[in-house]
Amino acid sequence: MNWFGNLLLCFIESPKTIWLIIFGMVFFILINEVGYYMLANFELTGSMKGLQDSIFQKLARRYDKIALISLIGFWALAFKQYFKDCSR
């Protein structure tokens, strides 16, 4: 149980780590919401109407990937900062 107490103590005393985790979650949510907001009015006309759903899914998947990459990046920085603070 001592290792868990040390883990929490080091986490609480590292405000940079906490902020990086929070920023990661906020950017993940914002990128997804902005992506779906921009795609909400996506509409094709004419002969391209049949491809509308597949293009929408590809663009939505791209926004999901960007959001996930930003989340993983922020969390990687948070873990790096956490281990730097714990070694002090």
Q: Answer whether 0.75 is exceeded by the pTM.
A: yes
Residue 1 confidence (pLDDT) above 80? no
| Separation of alpha carbons 10 and 21, rounded Å | 15
Residue 51 confidence (pLDDT) above 70? yes
Residue 20 confidence (pLDDT) above 70? yes
Q: Is 46 left (phi over 0), alpha (psi -120 to 50) or beta?
A: left
Contacts of 60 (CB under 8 A, 6+ apart): 35, 36, 39
